[in-house]
Amino acid sequence: MALYGLIAGIQGNREALSAALEALERHGADRVVCLGDVVGYNADPEECVALVRSHCASAIAGNDDLIGVRQLDFRGCSTKAEYSLRRTRRALSPESRAWLAALPAVRILQEGVVLMHGGVRDVEQPMASAGHIRENARLLREDFPGARLCFFGHGHEQKVYRVDGNEAEELPGDRHSLEENQLYFVSPGSVDASRKRGPRLAQCALFDSFDRTIDFLRVPYDSAATEAKAIVFGFRINPLTDRLYTLRRRTASAARRIGERLTRAAHTGR
List, for residues 64-74, the tens digit of each pLDDT value.
999 999 999 99
List, for residues 237-249, the tens digit of each pLDDT value.
988 888 877 787 7
Structure-model confidence comparison of residues 246 and 31, the more confident one: 31
**Angstrom distances, CA of residue 173 to CA of 34, 52, 217:** 22, 28, 11
Helix (H) or strand (E) holding 151, with range, is strand 149-152
Is 196 buried (19+), middle (13-18) or exposed (0-12) by CB count in 10 A? middle
CB-based burial, 208-232: b 16+ in 10 Å, e otherwise: bbeebebebbbbebebeebbebbee
List, for residues 90-103, the tens digit of each pLDDT value.
999 999 999 999 99
Residue spans of the domains in the chain: they are 3-228, 238-268
Q: What angle do CA 41, 21, 109 make, to 5 degrees?
A: 90
List, for residues 143-157, the tens digit of each pLDDT value.
999 999 999 999 889
Q: How high is the pLDDT of residue 89?
A: 97
φ, ψ at 72 (rounded to 5°)? -130, 155
**Angstrom distances, CA of residue 209 to CA of 1, 24, 39, 150, 154:** 5, 15, 28, 13, 22
Q: How high is the pLDDT of residue 269?
A: 65
> Residue 196: pLDDT above 90?
no
CATH architecture of 3-228: 4-Layer Sandwich (3.60)
Average confidence score pLDDT of the chain:
94
Q: How high is the pLDDT of residue 270?
A: 59
Q: The whole model's pTM is what?
A: 0.90
